Amino acid sequence: MNLTTTLETTNNTAKIILSGELDGSNAEQLKQKIEEAATLKPSCLILLMEDLEYMASAGLRILIFAKQKMGKQVDIYVVGAQEIVLDTIEKTGFHHSVILVKNEDEISD
């Protein structure tokens, strides 16, 4: 399955919607969206992952890149990650670097 990424911006928030499978063959696509979002200097990056069915280690590397690219002052929210994706994030300890929420309503402005 392919990866689909969509970047939306409102106010000081960048939102990337992911669907499909994130692996080495398409991780560059997400990296480009993160770089595009970073140029807008958002105060918050939201990664909507409800429809992301799989994430390989290449995807995790891109999440680490996102944290580095955005900087410490930008909160990164991982929203609605499926169990298989959440498991990868938690087993690597990366859940300490992002904010995990089940839905967007849990994100405070």
pLDDT (tens digit, 9 = 90+) per residue, 24-60? 999 999 999 999 999 999 999 999 999 999 999 999 9
- CA 27 from chain centre, in angstroms, equals 11
Residue type, 97: S
Q: 70 to each of 12, 20, 40, 53, 54, how far by Cα in Å?
A: 13, 24, 10, 25, 24
| Domain count across the chain | 1
Contact 79, 50 (CB under 8 A): yes
Q: Report in angstroms the alpha-carbon separations of 21 from 70, 83, 84, 86, 105.
A: 23, 14, 11, 14, 25
Please choose, from the candidates 9, 15, 24, the residue with its C-alpha nearest in 3D space to the C-alpha of residue 66.
Answer: 15
CA 51 to chain centroid, in Å, comes to 12
Which whole number is the average pLDDT over 1-15? 92
**Res 97 pLDDT > 80:** yes
CATH of the domain at 52: 3.30.750.24
Mean pLDDT of 75-97: 94
The predicted model scores a pTM of 0.94
Residue 14: domain span: 3-106
Residue 11 has a pLDDT of: 87
Query: What percent of the chain shows pLDDT beyond 70?
Result: 98
